[in-house]
A = this chain, B = another copy of it.
Amino acid sequence: MSRSKRSEGSRSAAEAQIPYHKGNLRHKLLREAARMIAKSGVEAVSMRKLSDRLGISRTAAYHYFDNKGELLAAVGQHGFTRLADRVQAAGKPELPPLDNLRQALLAYVRFATEETEFFRLMFANVLQRPVQIGATAELSAFRFSSPEAFAVFDALLSAVKRCQADRCIRGGDPLVVANTLHAFIHGVARLAIDDHLKIQCSMEEFLDQGLDALFSGLGGPAQARLPQ
């Protein structure tokens, strides 16, 4: 009695004979959940409201996701690939690699401030995720969260390597440098969206100054290494 719309509606035969959701349901669920999150935050997502919007019953989603956490985690995973795309696409190849690195870092923060709810969800361990092992040779030694999340870090890592190849930045372990920059930019992003950044200038100004400090170093009054 509640399935009327789809099975016996006044649609055309071609449209009506499409059974159930065929396999789109999973995708539709993710898309609609993402829409709700973007509009009203993660808290506003409930399985029932989500189902209502798609015109399906409360528990239909449980055929594709074990529980609500897994659904949200899947939405979060997709957020990582979008972030990775943005970071990778930032900057132009004709610019010097250091500028491209700066643009990549800026893109990271911009994503966080523009898609705050997604950013939060991505890093919220909304379920105890299965720890995976790195895919590339270089990083195959340790555990990390997911391949999608790795893509973001990888974009930073290769930007760092390009800088080192061009001798824009020092030639230490690129992993350490990338992690350091990642940590810095991630901290900026989180403090910014949580209103804990004590700056009076604009975000971009602060980022410029902070990165200048990072690149030129904080050590000593005249940039000389301190003795101790």
CB distance from A176 to the nearest CB of B (A): 5
Q: Is the CB of B195 within 8 A of A226?
A: no
CA distance A169 to B223 in the complex (A): 8
Known: A153-B198, A209-B176. A218 touches B220 (CB 8 A): no
A183 to B194, CA, bound (A): 12
A171 → chain B, closest Cβ, in Å?
Answer: 6
> Could you tell me the distance in whole angstroms from the C-beta of A119 to the nearest C-beta in chain B?
11
B195 contacts A143, C-beta separation under 8 Å: yes
A131 CB–B CB distance under 8 Å? yes
Check B196–A149 contact: CB distance below 8 A: yes
Give bound CA distance, A141 to B210, whole Å: 20
Question: With the chains together, A214 CA to B175 CA distance in Å?
Answer: 15
Asked whether, in the complex, the Cβ of A176 is within 8 Å of the Cβ of B206, the reply is yes
Closest chain B residue, CB of each to CB of A149: B196
How many copies are assembled?
A: 2
Q: Is A137 interfacial (CB-CB < 8 Å)?
A: no
Specify the chain B residue showing the minimal Cβ separation from A189. Answer: B187
The reply to whether B219 and A169 form a contact with Cβ atoms under 8 Å apart is yes
Q: Provided the pairs A142-B200, A170-B219 are in contact, do residues A191 and B182 lie with their beta carbons within 8 angstroms?
A: yes
A167-179 vs B, Cβ < 8 Å mask (1 yes, 0 no): 1111111011111
Q: Is A55 an interface residue (CB 8 A)?
A: no
**A189 / chain B contacts, CB cutoff of 8 Å:** 187
| Chain A residues in the interface with B (C-beta under 8 A) | 96, 98, 123, 125, 131, 134, 139, 141-145, 149-150, 153, 167-173, 175-180, 182-191, 194-200, 206, 209-210, 213-221, 223, 225-226, 228
Shortest 7 CB-CB contacts between residues of A and residues of B? A217-B217, A187-B187, A183-B187, A186-B187, A215-B219, A180-B210, A183-B188
